[in-house]
Amino acid sequence: MGKKVAFVLSGCGVKDGSEIHEAVAALIALDRAGYEVVFTAPDVQQTATVDHSTEKSEAQARNALKEGARIARGDIKSLSDLRPEDYDAVLFPGGFGAALTLCSFASDGPECSVNAEVESLLSDALQSGKPIAAMCIAPVILARTIPGARLTIGSHPETADAVNSMGAVHVNCAVNDCVVDKERKLVTTPAYMLAAGPAEVYEGAVSMVEKLGELF
CATH architecture label of 4-213: 3-Layer(aba) Sandwich (3.40)
Q: Which residues are catalytic?
A: 136
pTM metric for this prediction: 0.97
Instruction: Please name which of 138, 114, 41 lies closest in space to residue 81, comparing C-alpha atoms.
Output: 41
Q: Encode the chain (216 residues) as per-residue pLDDT tens digits.
A: 589 999 999 999 999 999 999 999 999 999 999 999 999 999 999 999 999 999 899 998 999 999 999 999 999 999 999 999 999 999 999 999 999 999 999 999 999 999 999 999 999 999 999 999 999 999 999 999 999 999 999 999 999 999 999 999 999 999 999 999 999 999 999 999 999 999 999 999 999 999 999 999
